[in-house]
Amino acid sequence: MTEKEKMISGLDYLACDKQLKAERIKAKNLCLAYNALPAEDFKSKEDLLRRLFGKIAGNVIIEPNFFCDYGYNIEFTDNAYINHNCVILDCAKVTIGANVMIGPNCGIYTATHPIEAKARISALESAKPILIEDNVWLGGNVTILPGVRIGRNSVIGAGAVVNRDVPANSLAVGNPCKIIRKINND
């Protein structure tokens, strides 16, 4: 099994693998090219995003600066808006549902490392997928940690660190993120 296959399967893998390193360099170069495009060059932006991401459907707007690790593990359903300075570490799949709004300076991190120093020094890492369901709004400076699912119609308050699943129709805030009330979406 290759290191890439291990990574995508959620197993421990070596990120320093030659293939993975080359794929990260490709994605980072596409991000740099995207970030350098003129604000009004919508066609070139769309073309670059289609080359970068695993799946992109409908209207997706991403403000510069945007960075990701691989790109091919990021999937958009439709009608997403990502504000400035977003970082997505997509070692595992990141699925972004329809009508999602992501505020500035947000981080979406699938990568994780061993807690024990000896294992961490060995350069092994693993990744857990992240799912952001339809109609979610992430406020500015939100951090989403590996393996989290954010349920549809939820709002995550600015500055929150989301370390566990958030059920649908929830308003959640804080570090660590806690649900403070349900949202009535009728």
| 171 pLDDT higher than 70 | yes
pTM for this predicted structure: 0.95
> Is 84 part of the annotated catalytic residue set?
no
Higher confidence at residue 185 or residue 6? Answer: 6
Q: Given 4, 26, 28, 113, which residue is catalytic?
A: 113
Sheet with 124-127: strands ordered across: 13-14, 124-127, 111-112
Mean pLDDT over residues 68-83, rounded? 96
Domains in the chain (CATH in brackets) are 3-182 (2.160.10.10)
pLDDT of residue 123: 85
SS3 content of the chain, % helix, strand, coil (to 5): 25, 30, 45
Mean pLDDT across the chain? 96
Mean pLDDT over residues 104-133, rounded? 94
Band of pLDDT at residue 186, cut at 50, 70 and 90 = low
Directed axis angle between helix 18-36 and helix 42-52, to 10°?
A: 170
What is the CA angle 104-30-63, rounded to 5? Answer: 20
